[in-house]
Amino acid sequence: MLKFDHVSKIYKGGKRAVTDLCLEFDKGEFIVFIGPSGCGKTTTMKMINRLIEPSEGKIYIDGKDIMQQDPVRLRREIGYVIQQIGLFPHMTIQENISLVPKLLKWPEEKRKNRAKELLSLVDMTPDYLNRYPHELSGGQQQRIGVLRALAADQPLILMDEPFGALDPITRDSLQDEFKKLQKKLGKTIVFVTHDMDEALKLADKIVILRDGQLVQCGTPDEILLNPADEFVEEFIGKERLVQARPNIQTVKQIMNPNPITISRDRSLSEAIQLMKHHRVDSLLVVGEKRELKGYIDVEMIDQKRKKASFVADALEPEMFTVGQDTLVRDTVRKILKKGMKYVPVVDDSNHLVGIVTRASLVDIVYDSIWGEDDLSQSV
Amino acid sequence: MDMFMNFFSQYGTEMLFKTWEHLYISFIAALLGIVVAVPLGIALTRTPKMADAVMGVLGIVQTFPSFAILAFFIPLFGVGKVPAIIALFFYSVLPILRNTYTGVKDVNSSLLEAGRGMGMTGWERIWYVEVPLAIPVIMAGIRLSTVYLIGWATLASYIGAGGLGDYIFSGLNLYQPEFIIAGAIPVTILALLMDLVLGKVENWVTPNGMKKMKEAA
């Protein structure tokens, strides 16, 4: 969808605003450019719609080089939201929203319907259409600013700190609303901000820039989990790294490290006694060095007890496992989706190190709701 | 009172004609001023360096005594209405130009960036954004300029352009104060009326959104 190929911007006098940027994004991604002021994030964004033209390198949208296109037409195909909202005070809300359609010479009726349709997206009634921007609150104005960028159904939208001038409460609710809208409409967004909270909240991909150079590009979790260097760590802030921890626990932190196991050379009757003793319905089968061989459950014993007499003959070797450094969130999704009762946790060489059960999930949910109990006590 | 009645019965029609002449000279000059100064003012916002130079030159022209300018045009354009209109036009340009330039230049730059970013061409930005937002300031310049022109147009009769100035000059030459009054009072009324009318026009061309904004502020 959007590709930066060795893009640089050098201003007159040799000042480099952006240096050798290579990035690639997919359609529908929410991309946030972040960095301290003067890091080149706004310059980078403005190069996409040629408000600033790159000095070196190429930018492609859907495989087309933007420098080969007419800048006016290019900009009409890209939504643009600026920080200061930038609604035209002499135009009604309808005229503001349907400005790009007007430039594209849509008929009046179609423009009006489009404006109405868009207003309903942000839960505003059609009677706002004939009002003027100054009659609206800051939050409403920026909603209109966003709608204006959606008016001609542009697939790509550029936003330059659009919520920066709003009060924290309005900003927060607008962020939620906008993120939902973006997912619903499947737009690709390039969003510039210096607010890390905003970036973590909205982004699918965060691009961290410093002095015009790419420092790190990745999903919010990737960046929180593996900050590329001290600069990123500092920029994220220690607080957030600590705060972020409960959300990005690895399986190792929540697993039960003592699953009930049995070795292959035991008999089935020993297995059933072990189950009865520990009050479980299945056992993990391990080798001498605790390498995972498979599992055996009460049903299998029941079916095969006449033919087989040892665990090795009855076990099911195929089973789903997770590594101990996998994110809890990913594991949870797999357990819930596949309807599994438990997942064994293994290390890199398939040695059993623990087990995640549905009871562990209850702990996580409990913890995220009540938030105070220490997980390790209850597991 | 009798004196007035006598004067009116004697010169009434002539006075109406001279008033019309006066209005017509000032109006044409003002119109030419608008046609030249508004586009020039907008153009100058694109070249700030040139703007300073042009404003400087026009500022100097403005200080020339009006009588001198009128006299100066006689060898170039002869006497009559044409040189008078040309001279008055020169005077009308500066206030309109200055206001257009300031008005357009003061349009919030973030609005222009929004316009550019949304894909407006240069002309579309002028037409949809800059002119509507600058129109109150531009109109104030036009109003000021036109009211001044009505005053200055009295001098135009000196080079044979006619108008109410004829009465004033005759009165001065013949020591007849009623003629001076007959010239001065209609000029004043004309200027006041013009100010009123242009005030209405200003209100009419100002976009609704901006009017409401002013009321709210």
| DSSP codes, A286-351 | E-TT-BEEEEEEHHHHHHHTTT--BHHHH-B-----EETTSBHHHHHHHHHHHT-SEEEEE-TT-B
Position A329 scores a pLDDT of 62
For residue B214, list chain A residues with Cβ-Cβ distance below 8 A.
none
- Distance in angstroms (rounded) separating the CA atoms of residues B90 and B58: 9
The nearest alpha carbon in chain A to B131 belongs to: A90
What is the pLDDT, as a whole number, of residue A228?
86
Residue A189 corresponds to which tokens in the numbers above?
Answer: 């967004």
Confidence of residue A122 (pLDDT cuts 50, 70, 90): confident
Tokens of residue A256, six digits: 């039960």
Give CA A245 to chain center in angstroms.
16
Distances (CA, A) of A246 to A12, A234, A378: 48, 20, 16
Q: Could you give the CA distance from residue A206 to residue A222 in angstroms, rounded to a whole number?
A: 9
Which residue of A48, A77, A90 to mutate against B (max B Cβ within 10 Å)?
A: A90
The pLDDT confidence band at residue A373, using thresholds 50, 70 and 90, is very low
Confidence at B30, pLDDT banded by 50, 70, 90: very high
Give pTM, 2 decimals.
Answer: 0.70
Q: Which of B118, B131, B138 to mutate to test the interface with A (most CBs of A within 10 A)?
A: B118
Among B117, B124, B132, the residue with its CB nearest the CB of A82 is B117
Q: What mean pLDDT is predicted for residues B113-122?
A: 92
**What is the token pair recorded at B9?**
């019965």
Q: Do A86 and B110 touch (CB under 8 A)?
A: yes
Query: Which tens digits make up the pLDDT trace of B166-205?
Result: 889 888 898 888 888 888 888 999 999 999 999 999 999 9
Structure tokens at A130: 């004939």
Average pLDDT in chain A: 85
Q: Find chain A residues with C-beta within 8 A of B117's C-beta.
A: 49, 51, 75, 80, 82, 158
Which residues does chain A have within 8 Å of residue B111's beta carbon, measured at their own beta carbons?
A: 86, 88
Please give the sequence-ordered ranges of beta strands (E in DSSP) within B26-173, or none if there are none: none
Strand partners, A10: A16
Query: What integer pLDDT is reported at residue A148 of this predicted model?
Result: 92
Q: Is the model more confident about A347 or about A243? A: A347
Instruction: Please name the member of A51, A88, A148 whose beta carbon is closest to the beta carbon of B111.
Output: A88
Helix (H) or strand (E) holding A211: none
Residue A379 predicted with pLDDT over 70? no
Q: Which residues of A touch B118 (CB under 8 A)?
A: 75-76, 80, 99-100, 103, 148
Cα–Cα distance measured from residue A288 to residue A308, given in angstroms and rounded to the nearest whole number = 21
Question: How wide is the angle at C-alpha B203 spanned by C-alphas B202 and B204, nearest 5°?
Answer: 90
> What pLDDT does A242 receive?
57
Long-range contacts of A316-319 (CB under 8 A, 24+ apart): A317/A293, A318/A294, A319/A292, A319/A294, A319/A295, A319/A344
Asked if the C-beta of A105 comes within 8 angstroms of chain B's C-beta atoms, the answer is no
A16 CB contacts (<8 Å, ≥6 apart)?
Answer: A8, A9, A10, A212
Output DSSP code: residue A67. G
Q: Do A134 and B213 touch (CB under 8 A)?
A: yes
- Kindly give the residue spans of alpha helices, DSSP state H, lying in chain A: 41-48, 71-76, 93-97, 99-103, 108-121, 138-150, 168-185, 196-202, 220-225, 230-236, 238-244, 251-254, 268-278, 298-304, 311-314, 328-338, 358-370, 375-378
Nearest-Cα distance to chain B for A341, in Å, is: 54
Measure CA of the first residue to CA of the last residue in chain B; give whole Å.
49
pLDDT in tens, A47-75: 999 999 999 999 999 989 999 999 999 99
Chain A residues whose CB is inside 8 A of the B128 CB are 88, 99
Predicted confidence at residue B97, as pLDDT, reads 92
Q: Which helix or strand (DSSP H or E) is residue A88 part of? A: none
Could you tell me if A84 lies within 8 Å of chain B, comparing CB atoms? yes
Nearest by CB: A103 against B114, B124, B210: B124
Give the C-alpha separation, A179 to A197, whole Å: 14
- Predicted-complex ipTM score: 0.80
Q: pLDDT of A295-311, one tens digit each?
A: 888 888 888 877 778 88
Name the A residues in 122-161 with CB < 8 Å from any B CB. Answer: 132-135, 148, 158
pLDDT recorded at residue B213: 75
State residue A367's pLDDT score: 67
